[in-house]
């Protein structure tokens, strides 16, 4: 066989086999980590993230493996859970709130971190700016002060004699009032003065202190409570606080609809499930090669006003029609 014929046959063989070889090569399986407060199992927020990823073509077990880590109600576990994800060499860490994002940023400067929510990440030092976050952190941020003022207005419309409001905060993992909570207290001062409402700050360690906090609010003659439980708090903990407040006939306002679903009177705030869905787009862009520092941090675009009419009736409160008409959702 001549050298030319041999070379031709060899080249033909490679061209024929190459597509088969490429077809047999499995696609890359990405591994991402999710660190959140609460307990293991599905939740509306996590399901929104999963749906967002599915909509972008990610199929669990086919081209994606998701490692979930939950604090099981113990917020001091965030650093350990983040370390576990780093040892698994995840491609992206998704952090639910300021505390887990801070823990992740302290633990790694190379693995991209996507926040599903964080209160003013510029002031808390998580990013350089919204437009140019810098470093390895990006994602979604919350709005706190403006929403608190709007929530106070709505509560006062329902409780005309509102004069004193107790705000329940939880200490962070360093057993201190976190930066986000301090910022909230500072930003709520202006709308509170404008509405002639005195703010009473109550700081708890966790569910074991909820009963004492409600007693303190009653002793301080508070007309209502504002819940500032962290985003990752378990639903059971929220319901515990709402039930205790209801027994003391204290209406509860919140920035999170989960509190209203747990028995609070009303909530006005960002749509958390929308934030999780949008977080999926950040994950997608990062997995496709975009650097976190090149992805601007975005604010919420969807807000929800939720009223629990069942709670209002139990507290003998009449919700004005003008307020009901503005609600996005009414729980009956």
In this predicted model, which residue has the larger pLDDT, 34 or 15?
A: 34
pLDDT for the residue numbered 173? 55
* Residue 192 CB contacts under 8 Å (≥ 6 apart), including other chains: 152, 165, 198, 199
Q: Which region, left, alpha or beta, applies to residue 229 given φ > 0 means left and ψ of -120 to 50 means alpha?
A: beta
What percentage of the chain carries pLDDT values higher than 70? 87
Taking residues 295-320, what's their average pLDDT? 94
Say which residues have a Cβ less than 8 Å from residue 76's Cβ, sequence separation at least 6.
173
Model pLDDT for residues 47-84, shown as the tens digit of each residue: 999 999 999 999 999 999 999 999 887 878 999 999 99
Collapsing DSSP states into helix, strand and coil, what is residue 306? strand
Of residues 272 and 130, more confidently modeled: 130
* All structural domains of the chain: 30-141+272-294 (3.40.50.2300), 145-270+303-331 (3.40.50.2300)
Q: Which of 25-29, 162-166, 249-253 has the lowest mean pLDDT?
A: 25-29
Task: Give the DSSP letter of residue 209.
Answer: G
Instruction: State the chain's mean pLDDT as an integer.
Output: 88
pLDDT of residue 26: 54
Provide the pLDDT for residue 25.
40
Mean pLDDT of 164-184: 77
Instruction: Please give the full DSSP string across 122-181, using - where no structure is assigned.
Output: TTTTS-S-SS---TTEEEB-B--HHHHHHHHHHHHHHSTT--EEEEEEE--TTSS--HHH
Per-residue pLDDT at 17 exceeds 50: no
pLDDT of residue 22: 38
Residue recorded with tokens 């008409």: 325
Q: CA 323 to CA 153: how far, in whole Å?
A: 11
Q: Kindly provide the residue ranges of all beta strands, DSSP E only, lying in the chain, ordered along the sequence.
A: 30-36, 64-70, 92-96, 113-117, 137-139, 164-170, 198-204, 224-228, 252-254, 266-270, 303-308, 329-331
Q: For 235-281, write each residue's pLDDT tens digit.
A: 888 999 999 999 999 999 998 888 999 999 999 988 888 999 999 99
β-bridge mates for residue 308, sequence order: 331
Provide the pLDDT confidence category of residue 181 given band limits of 50, 70 and 90: confident
Backbone angles phi, psi at 318, to 5 degrees: -100, 120
Mean pLDDT of 190-194: 92
Q: Binning pLDDT at 50, 70 and 90, where does residue 149 land?
A: confident
- Residue-level pLDDT at 14: 44
Chain segment 78-115, per-residue pLDDT in tens: 999 999 999 999 999 999 888 899 999 999 999 999 99
Q: What is the pLDDT of residue 184?
A: 79
**Whole-number Å distance between alpha carbons of 263 and 279:** 28
pLDDT band at 234, cuts 50/70/90?
confident
In the chain, % of residues over pLDDT 90: 65
In this predicted structure, which of 143-157, 206-220, 230-244 has the lowest mean pLDDT? 143-157
29 pLDDT above the threshold of 90: yes
Q: Which residue would you say has higher pLDDT here, 148 or 245?
A: 245
213 pLDDT exceeds 50? yes
| pLDDT for 9 | 46
Confidence (pLDDT) at 179: 67
Alpha-carbon Rg for the chain, nearest whole angstrom, is: 24
């Amino acid at each position: 066989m001549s050298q030319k014929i041999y070379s031709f046959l060899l080249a033909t063989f490679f061209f024929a086999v190459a597509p088969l070889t490429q077809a047999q090569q499995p696609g890359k399986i990405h591994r991402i980590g999710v660190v959140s407060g609460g307990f293991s199992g599905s939740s509306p927020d996590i399901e929104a993230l999963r749906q967002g990823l599915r909509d972008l073509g990610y199929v669990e077990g086919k081209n994606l493996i998701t490692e979930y880590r939950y604090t099981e109600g113990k917020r001091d576990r965030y650093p350990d859970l983040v370390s576990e994800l780093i040892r698994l060499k995840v491609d992206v860490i998704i952090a639910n709130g300021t505390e887990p994002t801070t823990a992740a940023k302290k633990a790694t400067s190379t693995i991209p971190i996507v926040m599903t929510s964080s209160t003013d990440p510029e002031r808390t030092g998580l990013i350089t700016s919204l437009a140019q976050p810098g470093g390895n952190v990006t994602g979604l941020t919350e709005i706190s002060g403006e929403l608190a003022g709007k929530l106070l207005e709505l509560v006062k419309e329902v409780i005309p004699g509102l004069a004193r409001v107790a705000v329940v905060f939880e200490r962070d993992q360093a057993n201190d009032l976190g930066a986000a909570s301090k910022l909230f207290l500072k930003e709520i001062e202006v709308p509170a003065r404008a509405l002639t409402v005195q703010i009473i700050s109550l700081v708890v360690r966790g569910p074991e202190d909820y009963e004492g906090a409600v007693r303190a609010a009653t002793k301080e003659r508070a007309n209502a409570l504002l819940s500032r439980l962290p985003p990752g708090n378990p639903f059971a903990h929220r319901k515990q606080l709402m039930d205790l407040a209801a027994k003391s006939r204290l209406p509860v306002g919140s920035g999170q609809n989960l509190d209203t679903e747990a028995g609070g009177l009303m909530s006005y705030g960002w749509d958390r499930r929308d934030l999780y869905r949008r977080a999926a787009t950040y994950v997608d862009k990062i997995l496709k090669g975009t650097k976190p520092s090149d992805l601007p941090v975005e604010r919420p675009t969807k807000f929800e006003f939720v009223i629990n009419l069942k709670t209002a009736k139990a507290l003998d409160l009449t919700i004005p029609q003008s307020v009901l008409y503005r609600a996005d959702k009414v729980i009956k």
